[in-house]
Amino acid sequence: MSLCAYGTDKTILVLGDSLSAAYGIDAQSGWVSLLRERLDRAGYRYRVINASISGDTTHGANTRLDAILKEITPDITIVELGGNDGLRGIPPAEIEANLTAIIEKTATAGSRILLAEMLLPPNYGTAYMEKFVALYRDLGARDDVILSNFILADIADNPDLMQSDGIHPKAEAQAMMLENLWPDLYPLLD
């Protein structure tokens, strides 16, 4: 867990997978570090804690969330999870149950929640894809959740912005990832 801080009045917790853990690139080039820099430049006093782990699933994050919340009390939690679950074919109902538990735990701790929508490649079949997309829409309809854009919008389908594995974005895409979340994150800032 990265405990770098740019101000200490409030806390943003980023709970994600490799997309937020800056997989394959220097961590300082990742979108979470760019968020810290943007907040600092704009005069916001937030400590940004990146609790993202490459390869993490909704179950894994939910399992370790209690320990995280014993150490910090986030004012805002950005949840960027579910992609690894979907790639593993985890049933959408299980993914939704884990995300619901994460949302409830962080909301109980007093956090506002920004849930980043996830999308999958089309090879998982129409029925699975529809259920996967619907679970984010359903969770985004909750009063305590803001559903954000797909973090890889306009990135995932551009090979020039993706690493050779076709799954992880290059350093050049990180600012775009932040821009995909920013319009929904900005209104949550104090």
Residues recognised as catalytic = 18, 165, 168
Name the H helices within 15-125.
31-41, 58-71, 83-87, 92-108
Per residue, the 3-state secondary structure of 107-138, as one string, reads: HHCCCEEEEECCCCCHHHCHHHHHHHHHHHHH
Query: 147 has which bridge partners?
Result: 115
Q: What is the dihedral of CA 164, 61, 185, 163, to 10 degrees?
A: 0
